[in-house]
Structure formats: C-alpha cells, structure tokens
Structure 1
C-alpha cells in the first residue's frame, strides 16, 4: 500500500486526473439522471380480474372467485391469496413469496387461469397482471359550466395531445364515464311487434359489421374484398332493418327503439372548485423525469388555454414535481448547513489548507457516487438526497484520520512529501478496514425486506458507493494534495482577517492538545485504575437505557404521522341509496371545507390561500377509474394544500382535524374518514377477523368497533363489512316448467330486459364502446316493471312473469372478501399519534379485548394487517440481517488486528452507541421508529472506526516494546484529537437534519438522531471504556500472540 501511496504522491498529475474524472463524471450525470419523488419498487403481486357485469357479489364469489381459488390452491410461489367479490366482477390479489421469480410465477398463474373452463358464459376474459408501481406526475382539471359530453371530449383531446409530447408516455382521463350505445325497446313494443330481445340483438349483429372477403387475383393484380357496414354511432344504428315482411315493408330499428348514444349507466358527479370537471392524469413511468414532465405539460397548458371554449378552465394541480422540488430544496438547505458546520469544525483544529483538502473529499466522493448513479439504476430523489446528508459527516472521517496523521508528522519536522506518505501509510490499514465496517453496517439497509425496505435500500446503496469513493480519495488523491499544498508562513499573513483566523486556529489546536495531555490523560489514568468499576458503571447506564424503552418512557412505534400535500375525505352511504342523497352528504363536507378555507385565509392573510383547490367526486372513487356497476353510495373530496415551500410550518394534521370537526356527523353515512398522511404503509390499526359465518364476523366486527371507540385518540373507525343492496331472487314456478320454460330462460330474459344484452363492441377512437339492448330506463325502476314483463317460451308464447316465476326479497353483501379461502372482515382505524400510538392500542386489544370478544363466537380468528403487518415483516427481516452485519464487522476487525478477542473489545462500544441513540430520542422528543433502527445499525459500523484506529495504535506501540499501560495511555492521548474531530463532524453533519421540523424530513430525523447521538455518546466510551476493556482483556489473557507479528 505504501508503494501505491508513494506513487500517487510523486505523480500529482495522476491524482489530479483521477479527481477530475470523478468530478466531471458526477457533474455530467447530474444533468442526465432523472428526478422522481420516490424510486419505483417491485411489487411482488399478481392481480386477476374477471368482469361479470350485472352479477351480485355472491354470484361472483360462486361463479368466479371460488374457481380461481381452487385452481391456484397450493400454487408454487404464492404467499397469500386475497379475493374480493363485488357487484359486476371478481378480483384476486396474489402476494408472492419473497424469493419467487416474479415474471415466471405470473406466467404460471396466467396459464392456470386460462385453463379454467367453467366460468359463467356472461363473464369476460380474465385479465392477469403483474402489478407495477406507477408514480403520479400531475393532473389537469378541465372545468367549467359545460355538460358531461363536452368536458369528456375536451379531456380526450387534451390527453391525445399530451401523449404526443416528447418525454410523456402515460396519460389517462379520469372521473368520466365510458361511452355506451343503448338500444331501448319497451315491453309494449315487443308485444305489439311480436319480437324478442334475441331477434332485435341478432338483427343488429347481422347488419352492423365489417368483414373481409378474401381477394381476387386478376391479371391486373390482386384486389381485396371487404364488406363494410359497421355502425359506430347511435345515428348509424337507426337504419338497421329489424323485420322484413312478405309484402316488402320493413321495420327499422329507430321505429321500435330509442337509441341513446351516451354513457354507461351509473350517475356520477365531479366538481373542481365548485364547477363540473374532468381530470387528465399524467403519470411518470420507466425512465421518465417527473420534473421534465411537469415543465413540458405546463408549457403545453399555457399554449392551449387560449384554445379552450369560453368558460372552460385548465388548471394544473397535484403536481408531484413541486412536492419533490420543495423536499429536495429543504434537504439541500440542510446539506449546505451540514457542509458549513463540517468545514468549520475541520478548519479550527487543523491547518487551514490541510483542512480544505480534507473537506474537499466530501464533494469528490459525492460527485463520484453521482457519476455511477446511471449504471446503478439510482435516481435523484428524496431518499438519495437524504443518503448524502447522512453520509456527509461520515465520508470525511477517513480523510480526517489521514490528514491528522500527516499534520502530526509535519509537526515532527518532516517534509511534506515524507509526511504525506508515512502519515497515510501509517493509518491505511485501519482506515480502509474502518470504512469497510461502515459499509458492512449499511448492508442491512440494502437488503431490507418488504416494500418499505425496497425504498430505504436506496439509502444503503448510495452510502456504500460514496464510502468506496471516499477510500479512493483519502488514500490516493488526498496524500498527493497534502504533499504539494502551499503552507502559509508568518510573512504570508498580510491579510488581517487571515491572520486572525490563523491565530484562532492555533489556539484551538493548542487547546485541544493541552486538554488531551493535561486533562484527558490524567483522567484516563484514574479511570484505568478502577477499570472494573468503570465497566460496571457503563453496563448500569446500558440497563437504564434499556429500561427507558421497555417501560414506555420512550415511545416505540413503526411509523410516524407524515403529513402530505393533500387532505382526502371519503364518505360511504348505504348501498342502493339515490345518488342525490350521497351528493347531499358530499355538499355537507364541501361546505365544511369552504368554511375551513375561510378560517385559514383570515388567520394567514399575508400568504396565498393554504387550500388551493377543492375537488369533489360522487359515484366514483379509487382515483376516478370507473367501476362496473353503480357506485352512487360513495363520494370523495380532496383538498389541495399549498406546497411545503410556501405554507411554512402550518400543520396539515391540524387542518384535517378542524375539517373533521366542522363537518360533524353525516346523516345515515356508513363510513366517513379523513386522511392527510403523505407516506403510509397501511392503516394505523387494521385487525382482520377470519371465519366462515359472515353474520358472526359482522357482529364481532361491530363489537370491536365499539371497543376501539373507547380509546382516546382513536378516530375514523370503520370495517369492511357492508350490507348490500336489496335483492330480488327469482325462481321458476312448476307452472313455468310445465310450459317448457327453464330457469336459464327466466334468468337470461330477465337479464336482457333489466341489465341488457351486449350486442357488440365498437372501437371508436381509443375507446371500446358497448352496444346494449334493454328496456327503457323508465321500465326498470320498480318490481312492478318486473312483474309486467312477459317471458317468451320456445314456441313464441308470451307468458306473464308472475304466472311462471316467483320473487323472494332479501339483502346480500356489498362485497365478499376472502383471504386464503376464508371469509374475512377487517376493522380499521386511524390514531392521533400525539395522544396514543397504534402499538399501545393493539397491545391492549391483543391482551384483553380481542380474546374476550372472540370467545363469544365459534371458529373466528384474527390477525394484524396494515401498518402492523409491515412492522412485523420489516422487524423480522431486520433482526435476521443484524447478525450478518455484526459478523461482517467482526471479520473486518479481526483481519487487520489479527486477533479473535480485540474485535470484541472494539464492538463492545456498539451497545453504548445505542444508549446514546436512546438518549437522543428522549432529549429531542422523538419516538423510536423503523428508521431509528436503521440508524442504529448504521451507527454500529461508524462507532467502531475510531476504536479500530485506537486499538491499532496501541498494538503498534506495544510492538515497539512500549509498556502496556504507557502504550494505552499514549495511544489514547495521541488519538484524542482525530477521534474528537471525526465524532464532532459526524454529529455536526447530521445536526441540520436532526433539528429540521419540516414534515418533509420527519421520516428521516429519527435515523439521523440514532446515528448522530450514537456516535457522539460512543466517543466518550471509545476514549475511556475501550482502554479499560483493553487492559481487562490483558488481565484475563496476558499474552496476545498477534502483537508479536508485524503487518505484512
């Protein structure tokens, strides 16, 4: 290693070229790497969707989902199977095992689904999809005083034009209904004309079609034959001949039917700032840059506004690039403060130019890291910026150790060239292995399980790559710069400010040296005299810290409440209610939102309105994607909040609570929830009840909801059980069978009349449009209409419905959910984390409430889902990775020390670093969350670095024949300054993030607290307890064979 260092020191051109390559690569990459708020993750899930239009949930369960479950039962690679049977279709979500091959498993599932031949005839082709994560880009609201058709056509036009823009590939229109052509024939007309629905449908199919006819191969060439007669609009269907009589007269379709070229049934409403609206959603997929998408679309909108009809507005909202930019700006501000603090702490104890070259290692390593982002598949995101902030104070540690040793050799009178080579070579082995231990500690972050682990893995990869470049910089580039730097002399101190700074620097440097020799040294001697007492005292502190956690003096929770840039209210009414009743509920919530907006405008008159926009949708949720079957009982309202960079520290959580308060109870609502959480891994409280008897599950869920309502701070309590619409179950009377009718005849004709028969599908533009034949809407409103219906027998006889069929009224379920072939009902709730944590509520429920409730029901079990399931998955995976990380750290310590015992001495400070982390959370008022644990693991690799260099120096002294006690004392005093500098720069580098109270960084603050406070607290342990432990080991094992050997 000395030869390599010496070569670079004697060839500064090579060192400078290497530095230039790293810097240039990073600078070039900055302008090429895409930006996104969160990196995409691989969802280990496969969905199977089977439309069964017009079917009730129980029909879907029996006809579709049970057959899928049977086909996939015991399938390889499937971890969990969740099926949902709803009106109009079934959906099965398959969660794959962690090690399963996603694509191969998805293909096997598709093959098994395609092999099912027993689906009902009315079902459509199953759609099997490997789920992928699509990031939101932005949304464009097209609003104004216009009808639904006008708004949809404008939205489709805007969608097509945006999709043609460079850099944009995924655009969709939301909150609009699909088109449909409805051919409505009354029962009276059918009877008068002697027609059936089958005859009408077949007449349309025979006439409305395009068909290729082959070709004619003539001498002049080949001529293609085509028959063209496909109808595409309602007007085109009017002239279709339904009946041709013997006398030559014809009956056309428009003479017997009302043809409506409109929308699929199911009344919906969408309003943007009080005006009817349609939404165009632009997504970010693949390698697209969310910032570039925003800039492109904004330029298009500015150009297009003038072409919109009078009274129509185009408004961009939900722009994720604004959120990303605001968060990155906040984090970059923290990073700049970090860098300033680190520079200040470096230049005070070290010679100025030396400190500057040491600090230069930070941007060099970071730019080198950015240079390989493209090859590593990493993007500029919130997580990668946080990773740089975390590593900012760590990445300079090795350079500090090298720079300090070079400085120490120069103070001994050596020339700069010799000092650079010998100083760097002296600490090369412990420095390199120290950085490797830090990299090992961040390894669990790189391979953390679950979706959350995939996100946080970005931090691990960025840190490890940055540390690799820090080794290159500190061992090859830095020594060359230190050897050839210009050293200031007293004659050069012509600048008064520079002279003042140098005098300050000398005083600080001298003060640290004096403190190390005159204060720390004697104190260390006294502590080493009572080393066993010191060790016992240290373990006492450790026990107290553990007690603080176990006694709940410090709260432990999985996730904090992280505010977003929008507040969402969702209300659900009983199924089957008129859409106007749902609209009234939505208006009540909307009026409360307007009242909240007025209050906020009055409270903050000196800033833009905190609530930018209010969006209301009735009859559609799930992001505005139209669901088959009426959804008139649901409504959703979204308040778009001013971006973080403009709203300051106004609490979105407080705004949410006030909106909930102003809304009050909504009459007859089944569920009403408010949410402002920006980052979530599931419901704060979610308890899944499993059993076979749905009524028992519903009753148990009601009891559990009542118990949850007793907890202070628990809110928005709901469950997944919903009574469905009223059902009329049809059966065939014996009289019907005697007339030759079958149950299939009854069911098919009733479906034709009331749901409709799909005659064909027409491709109009990019939309697939159904053509339906059915009764007019006015004849489908009551049971009386059903009773007035005529059933046609095989011989054409028309029989009154009541004469051959019976009606049994009942009520089914809104939807039926099954998990691993058992029916389930999920009870969920949110919590006010300032009052109570989900963990505290669930402990009480699991210990007492749930056993008491379930003891009254037979065959019902429960499991925790939502946030707690993610918590258990993440913690289990972490605890499996921690031993591996510790083993790697041990190995990387044992190799340079050539000892089996001394690595344990060094690693003994890790628990005391955890003590510092616990104290840090207590002092700063933060709960311990999942990122705190990641910070603790990362801290384990950082805190051992100083101890490694210290123990290595003791060993060097002993190999030189120095007495044990003198060697320990001398090494501790000599290493006092670099240990102090590295610890203080690490802590200072994390301080801006630790002290940042912006919601954008709330998820990462606990990680920085664990790392920063752990390193700071471990400094004292390193300087006092490690020497004591070293002596204790020597007391127990007087001879260490490795000390007799020299490094190779």
Structure 2
C-alpha cells in the first residue's frame, strides 16, 4: 500500500506527525471535564405551584388538573404525572426521546400562562423547571457551633457569597436555616376596642411602605424626576403607622399589635453528626469540572475558617468528588496494570525488548490521540470513557501485532529490513483495516439507541472507536517504519527464551493434529458445536437480569416517618433515638446529617426525618453499602412510633428498582389495592422495603360553611376563608429592607390563640356590619381523615408501589412479582403496569437487541466489501454464534446478571470475534492463490496464524482481567462488560481456529458443486 511505502521511506515525517499528535493530546487532556458519568439528558420538565395550606383534594382539583389539561396537548409529551399535597402541586411532564426540551419549556410556559388566571387567587405563581441530574448538589458543607439564627446569618452573609464566587459553582442553598421576619402580632382585644380589622391593618402597612416614580416636572431647562419615597426605614416606622378605624378615627399599629423582629416559625431541624447545624448544598455549573469545582470549595473552606468565630466550625459533610476521584484513579490503575500485562505477553512472544517497544508504543499514542478526539467532540473524562480505554487497551495492539508478525515472516525468508517492512505491512494491511472496521461499525447502531442506554454508552463507544482508529493508523504507518529501523537484531534467532519457543512449537504441533482431525471429521465437529451451543442456550434461564450494576458509593439514606399529623417535636424525639443507635456504627459511618421536617414540596412534612450518610471507603469496611443498609434497617426497626426505611444511594439509579403503577377511577380504591399489593409482594424473595403512597391518612378538620346562616350576617365563603387563613396562617403584607437585607412583614395572631380546636370554634368572624360572630355559628366542624398525597398519571388517578431489590437480580424478582400480580383480582376499571428500572431495563434490552442485529449486518457488509464476495463473510461469521457459549459460561461462573452494560459487551463481541477469522481466512486464500491445495493451505495458515491469534487474544483478554476482577472504586460498572468480552472472546477464539476452517471447507465444496453444475449446463 502507498501509505506503508511512504511511512517507511519518510520516517522523519511520520515522527513529526506523531509528536504533534502527542502534544495536542497532552494539551487536550488538561482541558477535559472530569465527571463520574456521562451527561444524561432526561427530557423532563416540572411545574411546581404552591397553594398555601389547601388540602390535597383542593390542590388536585384547582391546581394540578387545570395544569395537566393545559400541557397535555404540547407536542412530544409522553407521560404526565402529578402529585397533589397539602399546599403544593407538582406536575411532571416527560417527553419522548429526541424532543427539543428548550422549545418544550417555552411551550409549557405559554400553556401554563393561559390557565394561570383560572387558578385560585391564593395560589402562587407556577415555577417551571427543567429536571436534570446535573442539578444535584456535588457537595454538602455543614456549619456548626452556635444557634441556628447565628449560623444562618453567617451562612447568608459570608459563606454563601464566598462559595458562589468560586469558579465552577452555580449556586449554594442553605438548609435548616432561620429566615428573618418582622411579625406584627395582633391584639384581638385592642382591635375590638378601637374597632380595627386585620384587613385595615394590612391595607395600612402595605399602603405606607411604598416608593415609586410619578413622572417629571420642569425646573428651568431641566426635567426633574418625581419619586415618592415612603418605605419603612426602621421598626419604629412600622409601629407608628396609622390605621383607619371603622368609626373614621386613626390609631397606631403599636396600639393594636406588637411588632417583633424575629424569625419565621421553624418547619425543620438540621443536625450534622448529631450537632445542630445549617447545611449548605453546593451545585456546580452545567459544564464545570466536578472535581475541580469541589476542590475550589475545599480551598474556600480553609480560607473561611480563619474568618469565622472561634466557636463555629465549617466542614465537609459529603463530597461526591471524592468517589469520582477514587473511581477515576482505580480505572487509571487498571489501565496501567492491563498495559503491563500486555507488555509482558508481547515480550514473552516476541523475545525482544525492541520488538515489544515497537508494538507497545501504539498504546500511549492511541490513548493520547483519543483524548484529543474526545476533547474536540465535547466528551467528558468519566468512569465509562476511561473504562472504554481500559477495555480497548488490549485491542489497540492487535493490528500492530498482526503487521509485525507478517513483517517478521518476510524477514525469515531473506528479505531486507525495508523490503520486509514494506511487503509484510502492505500484504496484510487490507485485512487489518477490515478487521478494525468490523469492530468500529458495531458501535454505529448504538448511536441510534434512545434513552439512558444511549446517553451512557455513546461516549464509551466513541472512546473505544477513537482508540482503535488511532491504533490502526499507528499499525500501518509507525510500526512498519520502526520495524525497518529498530529490528535488525531483534529478528535474529539467538535462542533466547528457548523454553517458550519449544512450548509454542509443541502447541502448534498439537493444534495441527487437531485441525487435521476436525477437517477430516466435519460432521462430528459441526454436531458437537451445535450441541454446545444449544446446551448453553438452555442454561439461559439460570442467568438473572438487571438494569445497571449498582456501584458501592458508600452513601445511605435513612427515612423515619412518625404518624401523619405528628408535630416536629415528636419527630425530633425519634431522631434522638435513631442517633443513639447509630453510635454503635461510628466506625462505619464517616459523616451524616439529618433534616427533620423538610420541604413539603419534596413530599416531606413535620412527621418526616431524612438522614444522608457517608460511609468510610469500601477498602476500610468489611461489608458493602447494600449489605450494611440491610443490617442498619434491622437495627432501627424496633424504634416505637416510627416507620424507618434504609436504602443505599447510587448515582446511576434512575428511579426505584421496582415500581408498580396502579391506576383506576377512585383514589380510595387505589389506596386499598396498593396496601394489598405491598402485603403480597413483600413475601417475594428479594423484595426489600416495599412501600406505597397509601400512607396513613392525615387527620384534618373539615369546615363546612352554612350559606344560609352566614348570609344572615352578610358573610360568604370567601370572606370566612380569608379570615380563617389570617387567623391560623398569618399574612405577608409587605417587605421591610434593612442594611440591604429584605424580609417579610407578616400579620399574625398570637400562638396561644391558634393552637387548639377550641380556638377554632370560638374564633370571631368579622361581619361587614362590624359585628362579630363565632365560627361555630356559621359553619359546621367535623374531624376526619384525608389523603396525604393524590397522584395522577395521564390525567387518571394512580397509586405507586415501590421497592428496593436485595439479594437477587432485578429480572428474577420482577418475574416473581408479575406472577403474584397476575394471581390477584383487580376490580373492573383498575389495572397495573411496571415502571422504574424494570421498565427501563425492558425498553433498553429491546433497543440494544435491535442494535445487535444491525451491528451483525454491518459487520457482514464490511467483510463483503473487503473480500468482494458474498460467501466468505458467512464463513467468517460462523464464529459469532459460538460467543454465546462463552458469554453464558462467563455469567454462570461469575454469578453476574445480564445488564445493559453486559449487552454492550455482546454488541462489541460481534465486531471483535470476527477479527481472528478474517486474518485466518484471508491468509488461506492468499496461500491458495499462490498454488497450495486447500487442505495444505488450511493447515499452513492455521499453524502460521496461531501465534498472532494467541498474541492478540491474550493481550485483549489479560488487559481486561483487572476490570473483570473488580479492583477499586466504581469497578462494578465495567465488570460485566469485561467478563462478557473475556469469556466471549476466549471461547470464540478456540472455535475460530478449529470450527471456522471446517465451515470453510463445507462452503468451498458447496461452491464447487454450484459452479460445476453451471459449467455442465453451459456445456
């Protein structure tokens, strides 16, 4: 080939190009973004709306359903889910893959704006957000040492601004802080004495705290801007505000209320390692380097500690970048170990350091060139792309080995160094290009796979492809050039490592005898191969299935729920008990923080406490995170008055492993059904912490206004509702600014006037006439139970049952759960469907199976073009079915289930296993064209190609052994891929050297019969 000749004759040019690539790659690797996983683009949008203290039923009817209807007609919508809780509505819109989410957000905003006027006046403005895993915090920092109010002030004034100035940081949120507020505490007796209503006070405060531009006026040749200034400048201004009484007189606010500079009533409590604290959750910018951004925060903490009061301490609670760094380091270590193993194999076979250097030099060049290509294609340096390089490490030297071996064969025939390099490389370059191309084309269908599987493995496919392209270029340019310059002495047979040569000679003799036997017993060989294939397929049911292998990140989440309606104080008592029991695990739990109360928008209320724990690194503990979760769940199960669940956290878990979605027309029936389902599936082996949204109903007081009685006093429901909300919730009437800080000014009744049912019954309702009437005179009060959350999907009521999976693979558990559900009787109009990871797994398996079919077709097409023959590719591809034997054997030996990671390995095998067959069949054809008969050509080609086939197979397999063993953090994700490739390639290589020659003879005989018949017909 012309490229080979040019590279041999112009070595200086080749070396300069290589140096330029190395320089470019080294610059690129410093600029690559480091992250744990590739960016996953989830086409999901969320519409969040508050509705003060409205019951879930009212939120569902008045907020959620109108928004659902508005967004349902947007193009590309796949599923709409809504959650209606007390005071909050959450509508989640999931779009079809490929939808332009930016345009979809604009469409959602327009649709919501059209129905905004139909929402209740008390409802807040809907917030439209794009959901993305990138919006999760990368770090949690705890500030401890003083009361929450002092900690909040320091966090807001000093820590948050300093953190947000750091490179790569998008925002910092304070959890567990105290929000400052000016409370105007109403004195009901004084209000009645002066004839002042709460509405009058509200109007007075909001009307007296204003600043606005009112126009311009001329003064000489100037226009003066007119601006009315009347904002409150002190608390005294609030106290001195005049309020109009019903009689027309005026009183000051301080005469009918007490003005307090205080904090809003706490709805949550935050502890770090059992100590009161505020926690700062740090989020990075979308395109920022996680490790670098977290490092900037670590440096900032060191700087801030010197400026904080001595009693305060600022420390990292959880840092996700630590796991990222450890995972990246372990993959790099596996690459180094794999490279050393490959170099040792090469040295063993080539018997020369120089020859090993010629081959081994392709590895760093290919890796560094890959970094450059990754940078220019916008990829990140993560555990999957680096894992792709580790997996491709052995394959990188395959092309170079085949080329060098053939150059060596020409040298033994007496050719000069330059002639050997030129002729040897030129003769096998087409076969090497074809074999590399078959490996590359299997990745093309993966690009068209949709969903999470595509987001995760397209970067891996690109990383492997880039490395193989770079290694191919090195093999047909740099290897021939270096061979012509460096291998004069390396190619001389001086008897070194004679023991290994004797072993290879013995192995070649045995192989030749075996090859002659199988060619002479073709029917027996084919029969035994079919039996092995069918037998392995019959063992398939013994292999489980899962979506994505869970990684041991050492993070746990513990949720403690007391009875619905419980106060925050009761929840704090449970937290105290949990903390005491956690002391026994101090050697395993590194840090933890708990939020009691939490955010109602996220589904947690005063009766919920959520722990987030970071365990010590995996190497420093004897149990895995999932096993420790089970142990801790048992230890906390006996705490009275609380339902406690423990689960391991995993960045790659997209939803619950097992989710059952029950749908039907009535929420009450759905709640009963979901309880029955939880009871049934909890008996299934592997189901862990099954739960449903049908939690215990929250106690509530139903207030039914009697319109007839209310009208006698000139009252209606709206007026009574407004006064009730003022009495028990208070009302924000204006904002007060002090030293650049803005805070709410709220009207509120004293706590002692709104804490008991008697306060509700005796509450005085102000009539338009000025008279007051007790609430019980115009309304009926009944205590009842109401739902905590109302869920809908695609505008139909729904209830979700979720469960963790422990001790068994997801596929087996799902199969057993489906059997249980099929045996259950559902009322008419009610049905169920599986969601969560189980649904994602099924969809991904179907997509990847289609990709596998297309990959096999593309491999055949490449080989048909290479050989300019439709028959030879079929011969070569008979090595493909035999990979099934190796893959199933690998799963059975290691006990790993089939996952989308392993499925990617199967697709990769479709392009890898044919490489040895291509080289073997191509050389048989070359020998036959040179005059050898078929049997002699098969024997000679098999004996001659055995050495390079062994070298390429061993370097590829042994380079992946560290990943298959699962050494280091984050190795769980690459382990199934490595096991699939090792066993699949190993077994298929054995069949390649024996079974493919047999198929070659069968097809050759068939060809002769067909061509012979054609000749007879022509004659």
- After superposition, the Cα gap between the structure-2 partners of 1:571 and 1:508, relative to the gap in structure 1 and judged at 3 Å, is same
Aligned partners of 1:677, 1:585: CA distance in 2, in Å? 26
Which among 773, 790, 797 is matched to residue 771 of structure 2?
A: 797
**Partner residue in 1 for 2:645:** 672
Q: Is the 8 A contact 2:141 2:281 kept in 1?
A: yes
Q: Is the 8 A contact 1:47 1:130 kept in 2?
A: yes
**Partner residue in 2 for 1:442:** 443
Q: Is the 8 A contact 2:184 2:258 kept in 1?
A: yes
- After superposition, the Cα gap between the structure-2 partners of 1:296 and 1:559, relative to the gap in structure 1 and judged at 3 Å, is closer
Kindly state the Cα deviation for residue 506 of structure 1 after the two structures are TM-superposed.
Answer: 4.9
**Partner residue in 1 for 2:592:** 614
Q: Is the 8 A contact 1:143 1:151 kept in 2?
A: no
Aligned partners of 1:850, 1:191: CA distance in 2, in Å? 63
Secondary structure of 1:564's counterpart equals coil
Secondary structure of 2:913's counterpart equals helix
- After superposition, the Cα gap between the structure-2 partners of 1:363 and 1:1038, relative to the gap in structure 1 and judged at 3 Å, is same
Secondary structure of 1:563's counterpart equals coil
Q: Is the 8 A contact 1:266 1:629 kept in 2?
A: no
Kindly state the Cα deviation for residue 874 of structure 1 after the two structures are TM-superposed.
Answer: 1.1
Aligned partners of 2:268, 2:574: CA distance in 1, in Å? 14
Q: Is the 8 A contact 1:183 1:257 kept in 2?
A: yes
**141-150 or 761-770, which deviates more:** 761-770
Give TM-score scaled by structure 1 length: 0.92
Aligned partners of 1:372, 1:612: CA distance in 2, in Å? 40
**Partner residue in 2 for 1:495:** none
Q: Is the 8 A contact 1:265 1:630 kept in 2?
A: no
Q: In the TM superposition, what whole-angstrom CA distance separates every residue of 1:801-848 from its partner, at most 9, and x where no partner exists? A: 222222233221111110111111111222322xx333223222312x
Aligned partners of 2:650, 2:167: CA distance in 1, in Å? 33
Aligned partners of 2:863, 2:773: CA distance in 1, in Å? 91
Matches within 5 A, 1:923-938: 923-938=893-908
**Partner residue in 1 for 2:632:** 659
Aligned partners of 2:665, 2:20: CA distance in 1, in Å? 66
Q: Is the 8 A contact 1:565 1:678 kept in 2?
A: no
**Partner residue in 2 for 1:527:** 518
Matches within 5 A, 1:746-825: 746-761=720-735, 769-825=743-799
Which among 710, 713, 721 is matched to residue 683 of structure 2?
A: 710
Which among 866, 874, 897 is matched to residue 904 of structure 1?
A: 874
Aligned partners of 2:148, 2:234: CA distance in 1, in Å? 19
Please tell me the root mean square deviation across aligned C-alpha atoms, in Å.
2.6
**Partner residue in 2 for 1:344:** 344
Q: Is the 8 A contact 1:656 1:676 kept in 2?
A: no
- After superposition, the Cα gap between the structure-2 partners of 1:1039 and 1:721, relative to the gap in structure 1 and judged at 3 Å, is same
Aligned residues, how many? 1009
Kindly state the Cα deviation for residue 937 of structure 1 after the two structures are TM-superposed.
Answer: 0.9
Unaligned runs of 5+ in 2: 1012-1019
**Partner residue in 2 for 1:607:** none
Kindly state the Cα deviation for residue 1015 of structure 1 after the two structures are TM-superposed.
Answer: 0.8
**Partner residue in 1 for 2:1015:** none
- After superposition, the Cα gap between the structure-2 partners of 1:434 and 1:254, relative to the gap in structure 1 and judged at 3 Å, is farther
**208-217 or 757-766, which deviates more:** 757-766
Matches within 5 A, 1:356-395: 356-395=357-396
**Partner residue in 1 for 2:82:** 83
Secondary structure of 1:975's counterpart equals helix
**Partner residue in 2 for 1:1044:** none
**Partner residue in 2 for 1:536:** 527
Q: In the TM superposition, what whole-angstrom CA distance separates every residue of 1:600-639 from its partner, at most 9, and x where no partner exists? A: 4xxxxxxxxx42223122111xxxx674998211101222
Aligned partners of 2:814, 2:182: CA distance in 1, in Å? 52
- Alignment of 1:549 with 2:540, yes or no, is yes
- After superposition, the Cα gap between the structure-2 partners of 1:236 and 1:455, relative to the gap in structure 1 and judged at 3 Å, is farther
Which among 824, 827, 850 is matched to residue 821 of structure 2?
A: 850
Q: Is the 8 A contact 1:57 1:87 kept in 2?
A: yes
Secondary structure of 1:358's counterpart equals helix
- After superposition, the Cα gap between the structure-2 partners of 1:999 and 1:165, relative to the gap in structure 1 and judged at 3 Å, is closer
**Partner residue in 1 for 2:831:** 861
Kindly state the Cα deviation for residue 365 of structure 1 after the two structures are TM-superposed.
Answer: 0.7
Q: Is the 8 A contact 2:323 2:969 kept in 1?
A: no
Q: In the TM superposition, what whole-angstrom CA distance separates every residue of 1:308-342 from its partner, at most 9, and x where no partner exists? A: 22321111131122111111121111111100110
- Alignment of 1:943 with 2:884, yes or no, is no
Aligned partners of 2:292, 2:505: CA distance in 1, in Å? 53
- Alignment of 1:512 with 2:504, yes or no, is yes
Give TM-score scaled by structure 2 length: 0.95
- After superposition, the Cα gap between the structure-2 partners of 1:246 and 1:845, relative to the gap in structure 1 and judged at 3 Å, is closer
Secondary structure of 1:675's counterpart equals strand
**Partner residue in 1 for 2:861:** 891
Q: Is the 8 A contact 1:724 1:815 kept in 2?
A: no
**Partner residue in 1 for 2:1014:** none
Q: In the TM superposition, what whole-angstrom CA distance separates every residue of 1:973-1024 from its partner, at most 9, and x where no partner exists? A: 2211111111111101101111125452112101100011111111111101
Secondary structure of 2:1008's counterpart equals coil
Secondary structure of 1:99's counterpart equals coil
Aligned partners of 1:121, 1:315: CA distance in 2, in Å? 44
Q: Is the 8 A contact 2:964 2:975 kept in 1?
A: yes
- Alignment of 1:574 with 2:563, yes or no, is yes
Q: In the TM superposition, what whole-angstrom CA distance separates every residue of 1:227-283 from its partner, at most 9, and x where no partner exists? A: 223337756533322238999x85222332233444443432111122110112222
Kindly state the Cα deviation for residue 670 of structure 1 after the two structures are TM-superposed.
Answer: 4.6
Kindly state the Cα deviation for residue 590 of structure 1 after the two structures are TM-superposed.
Answer: 1.6
- After superposition, the Cα gap between the structure-2 partners of 1:873 and 1:489, relative to the gap in structure 1 and judged at 3 Å, is closer
**Partner residue in 1 for 2:887:** 917
**446-455 or 280-289, which deviates more:** 446-455
Aligned partners of 2:156, 2:408: CA distance in 1, in Å? 68
Aligned partners of 1:490, 1:968: CA distance in 2, in Å? 26
- After superposition, the Cα gap between the structure-2 partners of 1:765 and 1:71, relative to the gap in structure 1 and judged at 3 Å, is farther
**Partner residue in 2 for 1:496:** none
Aligned partners of 2:304, 2:685: CA distance in 1, in Å? 52
- Alignment of 1:309 with 2:340, yes or no, is no
Kindly state the Cα deviation for residue 514 of structure 1 after the two structures are TM-superposed.
Answer: 5.0
- Alignment of 1:683 with 2:659, yes or no, is no
Q: Is the 8 A contact 2:901 2:974 kept in 1?
A: yes
Secondary structure of 2:939's counterpart equals helix
Q: Is the 8 A contact 2:185 2:749 kept in 1?
A: yes
Q: In the TM superposition, what whole-angstrom CA distance separates every residue of 1:664-701 from its partner, at most 9, and x where no partner exists? A: 23323355333344532222221111112222111111
Kindly state the Cα deviation for residue 182 of structure 1 after the two structures are TM-superposed.
Answer: 3.1
Q: Is the 8 A contact 2:196 2:244 kept in 1?
A: no
Aligned partners of 2:857, 2:426: CA distance in 1, in Å? 27
Secondary structure of 1:1013's counterpart equals helix
Kindly state the Cα deviation for residue 768 of structure 1 after the two structures are TM-superposed.
Answer: 6.7
Aligned partners of 2:674, 2:40: CA distance in 1, in Å? 34
Q: Is the 8 A contact 2:29 2:375 kept in 1?
A: no
Aligned partners of 1:762, 1:396: CA distance in 2, in Å? 71
**Partner residue in 1 for 2:37:** 38
Kindly state the Cα deviation for residue 459 of structure 1 after the two structures are TM-superposed.
Answer: 0.8
- After superposition, the Cα gap between the structure-2 partners of 1:244 and 1:190, relative to the gap in structure 1 and judged at 3 Å, is closer
**Partner residue in 2 for 1:457:** 458
Aligned partners of 2:175, 2:817: CA distance in 1, in Å? 41
**Partner residue in 2 for 1:418:** 419
Aligned partners of 1:327, 1:150: CA distance in 2, in Å? 35
Q: Is the 8 A contact 2:168 2:285 kept in 1?
A: no
Kindly state the Cα deviation for residue 297 of structure 1 after the two structures are TM-superposed.
Answer: 1.9
**Partner residue in 1 for 2:977:** 1007
Kindly state the Cα deviation for residue 796 of structure 1 after the two structures are TM-superposed.
Answer: 2.6
**810-819 or 664-673, which deviates more:** 664-673
- After superposition, the Cα gap between the structure-2 partners of 1:842 and 1:233, relative to the gap in structure 1 and judged at 3 Å, is farther
Aligned partners of 2:76, 2:491: CA distance in 1, in Å? 74
Kindly state the Cα deviation for residue 508 of structure 1 after the two structures are TM-superposed.
Answer: 2.6
- Alignment of 1:732 with 2:706, yes or no, is yes
Secondary structure of 2:341's counterpart equals helix
Q: Is the 8 A contact 1:53 1:122 kept in 2?
A: yes
Kindly state the Cα deviation for residue 452 of structure 1 after the two structures are TM-superposed.
Answer: 4.4
**Partner residue in 2 for 1:176:** 177
Kindly state the Cα deviation for residue 775 of structure 1 after the two structures are TM-superposed.
Answer: 2.1
- Alignment of 1:642 with 2:610, yes or no, is no
**Partner residue in 2 for 1:467:** 468
**Partner residue in 1 for 2:278:** 278
Secondary structure of 2:138's counterpart equals strand
Aligned partners of 1:1035, 1:963: CA distance in 2, in Å? 13
Unaligned runs of 5+ in 1: 492-498, 601-609, 1042-1048
